[in-house]
């Protein structure tokens, strides 16, 4: 049934049916013509016979016509005997001329309509072969990564469906190719950024190690250089650890576990590693708002919030204030982490979640990976994060955890 739905095949079948109908009609027309010709010959024989009998024997015309038209059979046996006497009987009464006409007519009909059917099938197969050849050419170009092609077909049938499926595959491969190109570019940029980030501490450590080889170096300087090396090693360790986490997030191999935790406990867990830094800068941390239960991956989410809190702490002056506000609604739970620090410029604001992006006011130790990691962790759990900021007024990060419909 699917094949019959093919427009081209349907046309071919209709053409063959029409041709066969015409062939049958032609047979009837030829039969009618041959019957008419045979009747004409019989009438000519009857006319000759009647004329001969009426003139030679002066027979009554009515009696002769009655014999010919009224099925009079009493003279039939006598007539057959006379015809057989001259070799004319049922076995050899055929008219060779009529027989030849009949054979020629039917042979002509068979030949003409056979040729028509052949041509119909031939042109159908020719067009089918052309379409298959086009598809083959298209696939070969596709294998050569030529995606700038359009094979979409709005006709009916299996071949058109195949073309449309190939077109869908082409679109999918084109999109995947674009994604691969972007991934390659990102990888190249990331490797360049990683190389740059590692180059600075490694260079510093090499210089320190060369200085440590000096035997005349004092104990105080030696301790100072060792502290610098230790600090740079910790920085490299943190950078490598962060990059590995980012790689896992990019590869989508992180298995986020849904765990229940109160929003207050989540924020207190996240702020704990920053408490010492805030204490050193005499900063105040305020936690207010609702306290709903969240279903999130506790460890990964607390790390995302930690990076945001750390960013706020670093860009807030001594004696400043950090605040975490929780708002619960029917659709989502929102956590707003804000500060009254230096703020972010409008020029930097659209790019702060990009990996290795360093804003104009970033410190020399800033790598530009913390907020990018927070963004990846939160969006991977179907949360959203937005930021608003004003220079010298502060910055606010708004994080929404949407509730699952049960």
pLDDT at 406: 58
Residue 168 near residue 19, CB atoms below 8 Å: no
Can you give the pLDDT at residue 375? 92
Q: Check residue 154 and give its pLDDT.
A: 58
Count, residues in the chain: 406
CATH fit for domain 259-402, picks 3.50.50.100, 3.90.1140.10, 3.90.1150.10, 3.30.565.10: 3.30.565.10
Q: What is the per-residue pLDDT for 229?
A: 85
pLDDT value of position 103: 76
Gyration radius from the chain CA atoms: 50
Instruction: Output the pLDDT for position 178.
Output: 81
**pLDDT given for residue 68 in this prediction:** 66
Q: What pLDDT score does 73 carry? A: 61
Is residue 367 within 8 A of residue 340, CB to CB? The reply is: no
What span, in angstroms and rounded, lies between the C-alpha atoms of 319 and 334? Answer: 27
pTM of the model: 0.56
Q: Assess if CATH 1.10.40.30 describes domain 154-253.
A: no
pLDDT of residue 141: 75
Per-residue pLDDT of the chain (406 residues; tens, 9 = 90+): 444 446 667 777 777 788 788 878 777 787 777 777 777 777 777 777 777 767 776 666 676 676 666 665 666 666 777 767 766 666 555 556 666 777 777 787 788 878 888 888 888 788 777 777 777 777 777 777 776 666 656 566 666 777 777 777 777 877 888 888 887 887 777 677 677 667 777 887 888 888 888 877 788 888 888 888 888 888 788 778 877 787 788 777 888 888 999 999 999 999 999 999 899 999 999 999 999 999 999 999 999 999 999 989 988 999 999 999 999 999 999 999 999 988 888 888 888 888 777 776 666 666 678 888 899 999 999 999 999 999 888 999 999 999 876 5
Q: Is 344 helix (H, G, I), strand (E, B) or coil?
A: coil
Bridging pattern class, strands 321-328 and 284-289: parallel
DSSP string, 294-342: EEE-HHHHHHHHHHHHHHHHHTS-TT-EEEEEEEE-SSEEEEEEEE-SS
List the chain domain ranges.
Answer: 7-143, 154-253, 259-402
Q: What is the pLDDT of residues 117-171, one digit of tens each?
A: 888 888 878 877 777 777 777 777 777 777 666 665 656 666 677 777 777 777 7
- How far apart are alpha carbons 31 and 40 in whole angstroms? 14
Contact 298, 259 (CB under 8 A): yes
Distances from the Cα of 391 to the Cαs of 318, 364, 394, in angstroms? 17, 20, 7
pLDDT single digits (tens) 179-196: 888 878 877 776 776 776
Q: Name residue, tokens 């941390």.
A: 285
């Amino acid at each position: 049934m699917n094949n019959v739905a093919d427009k081209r095949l349907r046309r071919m079948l209709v053409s063959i049916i029409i041709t066969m109908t015409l062939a049958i009609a032609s047979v009837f027309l030829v039969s009618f013509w041959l019957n008419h010709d045979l009747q004409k010959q019989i009438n000519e024989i009857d006319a000759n016979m009647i004329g001969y009998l009426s003139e030679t024997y002066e027979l009554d015309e009515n009696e002769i016509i009655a014999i010919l038209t009224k099925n009079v059979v009493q003279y039939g046996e006598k007539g057959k005997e006379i015809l057989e006497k001259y070799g004319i009987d049922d076995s050899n009464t055929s008219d060779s001329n009529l027989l030849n006409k009949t054979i020629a007519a039917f042979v002509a009909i068979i030949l003409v309509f056979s040729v028509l059917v052949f041509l119909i099938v031939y042109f159908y197969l020719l067009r089918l072969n052309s379409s298959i050849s086009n598809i083959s050419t298209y696939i070969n170009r596709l294998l050569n990564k030529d995606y700038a092609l359009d094979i979409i077909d709005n006709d009916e049938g299996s071949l058109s469906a195949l073309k449309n499926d190939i077109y869908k595959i082409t679109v999918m491969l084109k999109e995947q190719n674009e994604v691969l190109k972007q991934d390659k570019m990102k990888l190249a940029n990331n490797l360049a950024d990683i190389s740059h980030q590692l180059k600075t501490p490694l260079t510093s450590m090499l210089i320190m190690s060369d200085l440590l080889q000096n035997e005349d170096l004092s104990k105080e300087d030696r301790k100072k250089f060792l502290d610098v090396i230790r600090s740079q090693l910790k920085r490299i360790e943190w950078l490598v650890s962060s990059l590995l986490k980012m790689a896992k997030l990019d590869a989508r191999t992180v298995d986020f576990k849904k765990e229940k935790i109160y929003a207050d406990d989540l924020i207190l867990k996240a702020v704990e590693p920053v408490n010492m830094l805030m204490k050193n800068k005499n900063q105040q941390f305020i936690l207010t708002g609702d306290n709903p239960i969240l279903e999130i991956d506790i460890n990964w989410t607390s790390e995302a919030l930690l990076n945001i809190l750390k960013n706020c702490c670093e860009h807030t002056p001594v004696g400043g204030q950090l605040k975490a506000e929780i708002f619960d609604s029917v659709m989502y739970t929102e956590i707003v982490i804000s500060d009254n620090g230096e703020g972010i410029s409008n020029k930097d604001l659209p790019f702060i979640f990009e990996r290795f992006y360093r804003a104009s006011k970033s410190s020399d130790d800033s790598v530009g990976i913390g907020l990018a990691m927070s963004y990846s962790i939160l969006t991977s759990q179907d949360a959203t994060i937005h930021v608003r900021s004003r220079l010298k007024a502060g910055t606010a990060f708004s994080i929404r955890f949407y509730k699952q419909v049960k």
